[in-house]
Amino acid sequence: MDLLGPNPAFDLYSEDFPIMSNASTRPPAFVGRDGDVDDCLVANGVQVYGKAKHSILSVDAYVGEHATVVDSVLLPGAVVKNGAHVVRAILGENSVVEENVNLGSVDSTKDTAVIGNDVVVGKGE
C-alpha cells in the first residue's frame, strides 16, 4: 500500500535500488466501459468492470460490474463479483466475494478484513 498515492514511499523505477519482478505471460489488464480505476497498482490479467480505488490488484484479479474495491489488496485470482463492496480488505489467492456482499469497513479503528486462499464469502458470512 506504500506504493500508492501521489508520493509513494518507494520508487519502482529507481536505478539505485531496483525492484525486480516476475513478469507473467498474461494478457494486459482490461478496464471495461463502465470500469473505473483510481490510484491502483494493476497487474497483468486483471479485469475491472466496476470501481477500484487505492488498491492493489494482483495477476488475474477480477472486479465485477457495479462492484467496488477500496483500500484493499486482491491477491492473484481473487474475484469480487457483481455488486459486491470490498473496503479495507486483503483477499487471498483465488478467493471469491459473492454478488452483493459487503466485506470490510470504512472505520479505520476496526481490523482489516483478511480472507484466506480459496475461500468463498457469501451473504451473511
The ranges assigned to domains in the chain are 30-121
pLDDT in tens, 75-125: 999 999 999 999 999 999 999 999 999 999 888 888 899 999 999 999 876
Alpha-carbon distance of 84 to 70, in angstroms, equals 11
Nearest of 65, 92, 55 to residue 77 by alpha carbon: 92
Q: 30-121 maps to which CATH number?
A: 2.160.10.10
Nearest of 86, 88, 95, 87 to residue 115 by alpha carbon: 95
pLDDT in tens, 70-85: 999 999 999 999 999 9
Question: 95 and 112 in contact (C-beta within 8 Å)?
Answer: no
Residue 21 pLDDT class (50, 70, 90 cuts) = low
